[in-house]
Structure 1
Amino acid sequence: MRQAISFVLPTYNCHCVQLVETLCSQCHKVQATYGLDYEIVVADDCSTDRSYVTSNSVIERLDNVRYLKLEHNLGRSAVRNFLAREARYDWLVFIDGDLAVDKSDFVENYALSDGDVVVGGTAIGGDVKLWRNNLRYCYEKRCEPAHSAKQRMLLANREFRTTNFLVSRRAVIANPFDEAFKHYGYEDVLFGKQLTASGYAINHIDNPVLIDDYESNPVYMDKTEEACRTLIEFRKQLNGYSSLLSFSTTLVHWHLQPLYKLVYRIIGASLRRNLSGSNPKLSLFNIYRLLYTLSVWA
């Protein structure tokens, strides 16, 4: 039984009130049952849409909640290091602020879990009728079976994600997120690699947070391309931790990159139009990712 937990939530241009209220309610119940000490620390990473900062400010009225409004954007890695330093307790649960908790025993499961690093995973929610033509929703639903706790444990260190995990504070202080990662993608993968190299075993359990809202197809494609560029920029550090990177590296080694770049120049724009449109073909998504990755490989 963990005696005290800091729930730390980075937010950026998103609503987090319902998530924080749910965590507060569950923490109160676990405190009454087990004597858990807890706090919830939310850091808004200088959201560009200040209406989110205003609407989220109601959480300041909740017990054991701190809402930190940053004046300058730190970025995905640095804001997590900041939260680890701000936390008061020895155990941290990181949760992305735009997600939801729908498991009634979510907090209890983490309080009773074992290990220095515990990954809870994600569940894919939302009305299929509403999201059936949303690229991210379709992609996440297709991949969901491979992200069960049992499947994640097969490649425990490679399946680490920062979306929802528990970690000892000392592990983060000793192995901080690499703040060279300024853009979207893969900072969590490298963090998991660093933890493993430092001797921490990563345990995966079935304690997911819920994804039930999805960005538009054009926005998701922008994020996908940004992640591909991040992957290439940090390819030395991420070697062996991405199947896309491994396959791309092989094609470059075989001197096939010029061919794939030519194919991208011919059909890349049309593939992107389809994937960004109102009826995307999921079968084209990984093809586009590979072509785009090789097109920006330098």
Structure 2
Amino acid sequence: MLSILIPVYNYNVYPLVSELHKQCLDCGITFEILCQDDASQSSLNAFNEHVNALPNCSFVSLKENLAHRENRNSLAEQAKFDYLLFIDGDSIIIHDNYIKKYIENLHDFDVVYGGRLNPEKCPSDNQKLRWKYGRFIEDKFAENRKKQPYQSLLFNNTVIKKECFNKVKFDKDTKKYGHDDTLLSYQLSVLQVKINHIENPVEHGHIDTNLVYLNKTKESLENLILLYEEEKIDIEFVRLIQLYHFLKRIKSAFIISKIHTLFEKYLVQNLTGNNPDLVLFNWFRVGYLCSINQKN
């Protein structure tokens, strides 16, 4: 019935698998849990090997890196059952009826998304940018997610029918980090698959430092531009692309890129500091997006 797919990279996934395994047994369902480390060569894999001692569970450490998209695709190809639950290795299960709630909500839907939560308190000042953006922008209740069912879909903590996933898959030709969920969600919107949003969140366990997240943001924006230029995604699907397209049309992108260059140093100081401002973060994203256009 259910294949739980966990891509791993340099993380101890055993506590997560142990909890999922217990809940699957309590529900009395047919299941498997597949974990695949993407050639991290991490010392934590010594703990992950204990996953293989649990019935219906496996952990494999790849010798060659596939990258995160192909790691997910590879896990899906190995899955035996009709429903795939994608959950990242750093996720934390916060409800003891997590699996049961998914099982109760699978009927008549191709995709079910449970949501994600960031911890109430930020672990450290050096992680505040990612924490703030996650907690105040990305974390949404199901009622709000249903207003834009495709745009609100993230592929951590999502159940999807295998036959549905096989029609889209993660784009292996895109090499840069970011917007995997955006592209896959857009493809699902084109197919008009039936999506259900429920309250069944996992907690975001590993929060990037400010500088790491800022660099990831830049790379994800570069990838977003590629998706736009290669016409892999509709302009109307992503608000940031709508804005970028509008700025190009009124020939303002060049001016904004120059303003961004002048103030980038000060923006970075704020965003990598102890109290990053999300308004400035949005300014940074728009400015960097326009700068990419000028570089190209």
TM range (shorter): over 0.9
TM-score (norm 1): 0.91
The one-letter code matched in structure 1 to 2:134 is E
Aligned with 2:207 (options 214, 225, 232): 214
Who is 1:18 aligned against? 15
Q: CA deviation at 1:20?
A: 0.9
Matches within 5 A, 1:108-257: 108-113=100-105, 114=107, 115-128=109-122, 130=124, 134-143=128-137, 147-235=140-228, 236-238=231-233, 239-257=235-253
Aligned partners of 1:188 and 1:144: how far apart in 2?
13
Q: CA deviation at 1:133?
A: 6.1
Q: Determine helix, strand or coil for the equivalent of 2:91.
A: coil
Q: CA deviation at 1:175?
A: 2.1
Answering whether residue 96 of structure 2 is matched by residue 104 of structure 1, we say yes
Asked if 1 retains the 8 angstrom alpha-carbon contact of 2:127 and 2:207, the reply is no
Q: Determine helix, strand or coil for the equivalent of 2:4.
A: strand
Who is 2:77 aligned against? 85
1:251-272 per-residue CA deviation (whole Å, 9 max, x = no partner) reads 0111011101111111112211
5+ long unaligned stretches in structure 1: none
1:21-75 per-residue CA deviation (whole Å, 9 max, x = no partner) reads 11011111111xxxx101100111112x522333322222212111122222222
Who is 1:30 aligned against? 27
Q: Determine helix, strand or coil for the equivalent of 1:279.
A: coil
Aligned partners of 1:6 and 1:19: how far apart in 2?
15
Matches within 5 A, 1:56-95: 56-95=48-87
5+ long unaligned stretches in structure 2: none
Aligned partners of 1:11 and 1:97: how far apart in 2?
5
1:231-262 per-residue CA deviation (whole Å, 9 max, x = no partner) reads 01111223222211111111011101110111
Who is 1:50 aligned against? 42
Q: Matched residue pairs, number?
A: 289
The one-letter code matched in structure 1 to 2:110 is D
The one-letter code matched in structure 2 to 1:253 is R
* RMSD between superposed Cα atoms in Å: 1.7
Q: Determine helix, strand or coil for the equivalent of 1:234.
A: helix
Q: Determine helix, strand or coil for the equivalent of 1:207.
A: coil
Aligned with 2:287 (options 274, 283, 291): 291
The one-letter code matched in structure 2 to 1:76 is H
Identity in percent: 29
Q: CA deviation at 1:281?
A: 2.4
Aligned with 2:256 (options 257, 260, 282): 260
The one-letter code matched in structure 1 to 2:222 is R
Aligned partners of 2:191 and 2:227: how far apart in 1?
20
Aligned partners of 2:164 and 2:138: how far apart in 1?
29
Q: CA deviation at 1:126?
A: 4.7
User: Segments of 4+ in structure 1 off by > 6 A?
Assistant: none
Answering whether residue 274 of structure 2 is matched by residue 281 of structure 1, we say no
TM-score (norm 2): 0.92
Q: Determine helix, strand or coil for the equivalent of 2:208.
A: coil
